[in-house]
Amino acid sequence: MLLEISMGKSRAEIQKAYRQRLKDKNKEEYLRKESESKRRIYVPSHQLFISYQTMTVRNAIEETGPT
């Protein structure tokens, strides 16, 4: 007599299975939504660099104080 004991799934495994079911069910809609999400979140690297430079200049001005 052989009993198979399986552990429960982690949250990551549950979420991965859920996303896969969505993908299998509505492939075109899922891919469209995923693409829109990526576009909305994306920030070009040159914008990040400009933001970093601006922040660095502001910090330098604050440190020196008014002249």
Name the maximum alpha-carbon separation found in the chain.
86
pLDDT digits (tens, 9 = 90+) for 1-20: 556 677 889 999 999 999 89
Q: How far apart are CA 45 and CA 24, in angstroms?
A: 34
* CB-based contact 25:18 (threshold 8 Å): no
Q: What is the pLDDT of residues 36-65, one digit of tens each?
A: 998 888 888 777 777 667 777 777 777 776
pTM listed for this prediction: 0.43
Alpha-carbon distance 64 to 4, whole Å? 69
Q: Where are the domains of the chain?
A: 18-64
State the Cα–Cα distance between residues 29 and 21, nearest whole angstrom: 13
